[in-house]
Amino acid sequence: MKAFINTLKIDFLIANRNFFFLIIIGVAFGYVLTVNFLVPKELGFQNGGKYFVDNTDIKKPTFYLKISGYSNLLINNEEELYERINSEKNSLGIVFDNNGGELVVQGYESDRMLNNMKASLYAFETSGMNVSENIQVEYLNDFNDKVPFNQKFIPMLMAFDILLISFMFIPVMVFQEKKEGSINAYKVTPAGSIHYMFSKIAVGIVLSAIFSYIFILFTMGANADYLKITFYTVISSIILSNIGLIIAQFYSSISEFVVPFFLVTLMFFLPAVKLFSPSFNFPGIELIPSYPLLIEMDKLVSGETTAFFDLNFWILILEAVVILIITFFLLKKRLLKNR
């Protein structure tokens, strides 16, 4: 235990000497300012599709859409409309019937946007359709509190910084040790491979936790689910720190590490696309370590309550166990060989 504590002290001294703590605190508050002040809380409805179903007897909406060149926006029935809107996160639908009109929306639209859409339906009064008194709104998703647009960036920014901390900072420490020759010195100390591995992981966890708590506290407030945030921060940091340790063993400097860092970062950010485009999918996306973190943080931001021990929990636990075993044996075979 004493050997581990001594190794841990050295690693925290290295992290402090490289200003890792100051960098993390600065980035955390930079993200806080970005979310709270730079990104707007509401956006008008942009780029999303608007689709129509005409259930009227006289089909005047169909006529006006066709002569206006928008016949491609007509959907045959409400079932097809719901499928289309569910597959396109920024879209909405309008259903016309003999008694009026109905807006079919996602559930997170602003009141201003809904009022604008209602106003657009009033134009049909001139064609003899009396819809202004009978406009209904149907929400496909039940949001008790609509999530402000700026808070939708919280999961992505949080995942990005945990990736930056654990996957980049830990290898930087390893490269520095290689350059200074302290790796060879470490081999003659009482500490072993497991001490070395868990010491690096501990640094990653502490740095990630500092960022997460600052970022979440000043963007979501004190009522966020900090137990779940702590778990997903810790387990994600363990996985990413170990991936960084594994890859760092095959390179000698940060300049050589740039390409694998870019490729792994690109892979880890593929799940972020799914947050803004739910139809995006490919086999195995759920197994990418950043996927459970992004999805669970998105649920927390949306106010969605889910079981703590859900599928994402067990996926991360399994991945952490597997990656720990791989890292340990690689350390003994390569970086700390002859230890």
Q: What's residue 305's pLDDT?
A: 72
pLDDT: which is higher, 238 or 130: 238
The packing angle between helices 254-268 and 154-163, to 10°, is 150
267-234-228 Cα angle (round to 5)? 100
CA angle centred on 286, ends 205 and 297, rounded to 5°: 50
> CA 27, 308, 198, 258: dihedral to nearest 10 degrees?
-40
Tokens of 5: 């504590």
Q: What predicted TM-score, i.e. pTM, was given to this entire model? A: 0.71
Measured CA to CA, the distance from residue 83 to residue 304 in angstroms comes to 22
Average the pLDDT over 298-324 and give the result. Answer: 86
β pairing state of 92-97 and 100-105: antiparallel
Per the model's pLDDT, the better-predicted residue between 178 and 149 turns out to be 178
What pLDDT, on the 0 to 100 scale, is given for residue 244? 94
Q: Closest Cα partner for 305 from 142, 154, 162, 104?
A: 142
pLDDT of the residue at 306: 72
| Residue, of 154 and 97, whose pLDDT is higher | 154
| Model pLDDT, residue 320 | 95
pLDDT of residue 161: 87
Average pLDDT, the chain: 83
In whole angstroms, give the CA distance from residue 205 to residue 199: 10
User: Would you give the distance in Å from CA 293 to the centre of its chain?
Assistant: 7
